[in-house]
Amino acid sequence: MRKWLTAAVLVYFLYGLFMYGYIFMGGSTGVPEAYQGSAADPQTFMNSRELILSEDYSKIKNFLFFITIPFEWFIFIVALISGLSKKMQSWSESTSKFLFVQSAVFTFWLTLLVTAVTLPVEWISYKISYTFQISAQSTSSWFKDQLIDFWVNFGMMIFIVFVLFWLIRKFEKRWWLYAWFLSIPFTLFMMFLQPVVIDPLYNDFYPLKNKELEEKILSLAEQADIPAEHVYEVNMSEKTNALNAYVTGISSNSRIVLWDTTLNKLSDEEILFIMAHEMGHYVMNHIYIGIAGYLAISLLGLYLVNRLLNLIILRFGDTLHLTSKKQLASLPLLLMLVGILTFASSPFSNAVSRYQEKKADMYAIEMTADSEAAIKTFQELSKAGLSQVHPPLLVKLFRYGHPTMLERITYLEEADPKN
């Protein structure tokens, strides 16, 4: 056990050392010479203080991203090798003979373990955002959100874990296929539920107060044949100084949502460009294409998880205190494999997302015919979020579901008839 734990710590340390060197001392973030002095060059729209802060903040947040994702896998490995996962299974089995109750108890202890160990890292991330004035959230509000996260995640995981292990025990060889079939209605149901049940737990949503702006947005929606009756704003200024807007939900629960920070900091023309961008996603069915893509990847992912579970338990079962994937104690291993495969596939899914975002940008510029407002919008987004205009390659591949600001501003400039 000591040998495996030592190896896990060493691998994690070397990985962290590599990412630190890459982000803080490698990975070029300077704007290429060809774009220096252009609208995409932060030197043209940020002051010296903003330039320094955006570089420092982005590097710290990127580093935290890369070291926190495998940190959760490390927790799962420790739980397995130390025998803690097997102990939690014993606790759950002693409470009831029913699988649902056992799943709920085991999931509670595992969720509590992961939350307790990762909370200090989450706290550090929050304090960094607060120090750089990205977050405006009070400590009590932040803890409240963490508590909501815990119970929402726990509530969903109870049913997911129960269904997964019922399927594994009932259909040992084909459980992954049946799980995938069940994930289709579950995914659609959660997307339908998200805007009206889950999102309001964190923030207050209400119809857009600026009726004149709402009329302009709904007029755009009408041009795009989007059946929208209301635009919602959300009081994000209590928690952040960053800007955002999005379309959420499906069917009758779909909503156009604007953060109040966006309303406070951008002009009507810039907001209309953002809204046209979001409408572009709707018109080009990106939500449904995204769902289809997610389901296709998840089918392959569940198949690989099943194969890897069998191989790992056969080869390292004694070390991990596992004899079968039917054991609840194998849940940390299953979650770790899902996490690793999700992370490994993120460059592909991010590339598809960046393509869709570019298409939505081009749709918005055609609809609004205001490239000046579009470019100004992205400049303001960069300043408000202290984001790098030209991040390192690995950061772009694994973190960016949108084109970089350098790319977005550049192709908008090129789309301007005046250029």
Q: Which residue has the tokens 């019922």?
A: 166
- The pLDDT tens digits for 213-229 are 888 888 888 887 776 66
What integer pLDDT is reported at residue 94 of this predicted model?
93
281 is in an annotated binding site: yes
What's the pTM value of the predicted model, to 2 decimals?
A: 0.88
What integer pLDDT is reported at residue 204 of this predicted model?
86
What integer pLDDT is reported at residue 247 of this predicted model?
77
First to last CA, the chain: 65
- What letter represents residue 170's amino acid? K
What integer pLDDT is reported at residue 344 of this predicted model?
94
Q: Please give the C-alpha separations between residue 311 and each of 76, 307, 320, 344, in angstroms, as whole numbers.
A: 18, 6, 13, 19
What integer pLDDT is reported at residue 229 of this predicted model?
66
CA angle, 191 then 75 then 27, to 5°: 80
Which among 199, 361, 370, 407 is annotated as catalytic?
361
Written as one string, the DSSP assignment of 325-390 is TTSGGGHHHHHHHHHHHHHHHHHHHHHHHHHHHHHHHHHHHHHH--HHHHHHHHHHHHHHHT--SS
Domain ranges of the chain: 2-202+285-415
Written as one string, the DSSP assignment of 167-224 is HHHH-TTTHHHHHHHHHHHHHHHHHHHIIIIIGGGTS-EEE-S-HHHHHHHHHHHHHT
Rounded distance, CA 374 to CA 273, Å?
6
277 is in an annotated binding site: yes
What integer pLDDT is reported at residue 417 of this predicted model?
59
Quick one: DSSP state of residue 258?
Answer: E
What integer pLDDT is reported at residue 200 of this predicted model?
86
Write phi, then psi, for 247 (nearest 5 degrees). Answer: -110, 130
Q: Across the strands, what pairs with 135?
A: 240
Which value, to the nearest 10 degrees, does the dihedral of the CA atoms of residues 104, 106, 109, 111 take? -70
The residues of the chain scoring below 70 in pLDDT are 27-29, 227-230, 251-253, 416-419
Coil, strand or helix at 135: strand
Which among 41, 199, 278, 370 is annotated as catalytic?
278
Cα dihedral 125, 131, 136, 137 sign: positive
Q: Does residue 361 carry a catalytic annotation? A: yes
Q: Does residue 278 carry a catalytic annotation? A: yes
